[in-house]
Amino acid sequence: MTQGPRGNKLTIDGQVDTSTVASIVGDVLGQLPAQADTEIRVLALYHWVREALFIYPSCPDDLCEDFNKALRQINWWGYGLCGTQSKVFGMLVAHALGRENVRLLGTHERETGNWKMRERGYRVFKWSGLARDNEPDSPDGHSTLEIFWDGAWHLLDVMVGFYRRHPDGTIASLQDLLDDVDLAAQPVGDPEGDMPFGDEREVFTATTVSFRSVTFNSWPGEGLPLLLRPGESFTWLAEPIAGAYYLHPKIRERFGDEALEPGPRGHRPDRATRRYGNGEHRWVTTLHPRAEDPFWCTETGDWHLTVELPYPIITIEWRMEEGANGFLLPHAEHDDRLLPIQATGQQTTPKEQPPSRRYRLILRSPGRATETGPKPLVVELKSIVQLNPQVVPRLLPGHNRIQLRGSAGDDLQARFRYRIGDGWQENDCIGVGPHDVAIDGDPESQQLTLSNGEPP
């Protein structure tokens, strides 16, 4: 498995570090008693995924490979339907138990209409085209997951929120439910296992199953570290920016703008709405026209700045002195097309293009063409990214043990801004190492900024 990424990081003791599959599994299972059996361990991972991901149509693997990588699914998008959510859950269980003990199942209606989704309004599958009176490409398909332990397979459907038990207490397989449909009617007393979105038992009892290990990407994807240079900061915003999220063009084409425009969110009636989130990267730096400046290019007489973030970048903004100009490579990891830019401007990812994690600026001083030559240039950059707010570190009521991790010489600072009642409060942690923050009350609408020193 991938090693933990090097870079600047903030973690809170008792919360899950989502930077690697190993850290997720270790943190989730580390909260269990040492003698916890396999079922308890698997259910802990099941419940964590149920909390971390929410329902919204994600892109098929053949159109957008990012949705087949567990780490990006967890940290970037936060949403998905049956296949993508099952793969994330499967990846975590495979790390804990071994890949041979995980299999994805493909299911289809045994007879047209016997899932009864039309008459019940698609509780779980509400984003199907049928919710808009259009025929979807595949109205009768579902993916689910089984896990092997104690000599048997066990069905745990992480998207629907469904599993069932035999009278002896063991968790049933999908074949068990097909053989005894009455078993599916027996609740398990788990709000995350008793179909919290509504009764969808027919999906598991009136179905034809492909009992094979459907291929899923066994590589979770690399976690890109957050590397903050002096003057850089990253803020996990308290509230999402309306419309600042990415959807693959094929998904938009299939489901339509009117269905997708509100943005990703959950459907649990007993919980607050879950939505996509945004982050804001800022960098203020003074560039100098000399070899000692790490961004100065002597051969071309300009500066080359690269911004690389662990999230997909939705919008780029820049501000410089009047008369400065240059070029922007908005998709530096995809292509090398240059866009001419002036002193101030903004570039938003077009709907038909996937967002990049890296962009590059080639900047020229307003004095470049004069007799005096280039002069220092102050640059302010702001980037808006998309992320999953469900897995961002958060302060909890009471005592919080915060760890700031970075390289030698980093001047790391963390600022928590949060609301308790009608008032906003702030807590600062300065310097690499552990910090203790006590919260009197329940902090709401939290915003967290991690910075490497103050801007020059």
Report the CATH number that the domain containing residue 353 is assigned in CATH: 2.60.120
> Is the pLDDT reported for residue 259 higher than 70?
no
Please state the rounded mean pLDDT for residues 133-160: 80
Residue 199 lies in a domain: yes
What domain range is 148 assigned to? 9-210
Last residue in a domain, options 210, 228, 260: 210
Residue 267 lies in a domain: no
User: d(Cα 404, Cα 282) in Å, to the nearest integer?
Assistant: 19
Last residue in a domain, options 183, 210, 237: 210
Residue 395 lies in a domain: no
> Is the pLDDT reported for residue 141 higher than 80?
no
Contact between 281 and 87 (Cβ < 8 Å): no
Please state the rounded mean pLDDT for residues 144-166: 95
289 and 156 assigned to the same domain: no
Lowest mean pLDDT: which of 70-79, 216-225, 236-245, 254-263?
A: 254-263
Residue 451 lies in a domain: no
- Average pLDDT for the chain: 85
Look at residue 331 in the predicted model and tell me its pLDDT.
85
Specify the number of domains making up the chain: 2
User: d(Cα 124, Cα 88) in Å, to the nearest integer?
Assistant: 18
Please state the rounded mean pLDDT for residues 323-337: 86
Residue 404 lies in a domain: no
Tell me the β-bridge partners of 348: 315
> Is the pLDDT reported for residue 59 higher than 90?
no
132 and 40 assigned to the same domain: yes
Look at residue 216 in the predicted model and tell me its pLDDT.
58
54 and 140 assigned to the same domain: yes
155 and 288 assigned to the same domain: no
Residue 427 lies in a domain: no
Residue 362 lies in a domain: yes
3-state secondary structure of 87: helix
Last residue in a domain, options 156, 186, 210: 210
306 and 195 assigned to the same domain: no
110 and 201 assigned to the same domain: yes
206 and 302 assigned to the same domain: no
Residue 329 CB coordination number (10 Å): 20
User: d(Cα 65, Cα 372) in Å, to the nearest integer?
Assistant: 50
Residue 238 lies in a domain: no
CATH number of the domain encompassing residue 179: 3.10.620
> Is the pLDDT reported for residue 275 higher than 80?
no
Which residue, 411, 409, 405, 416, is CA-closest to 453? Answer: 411
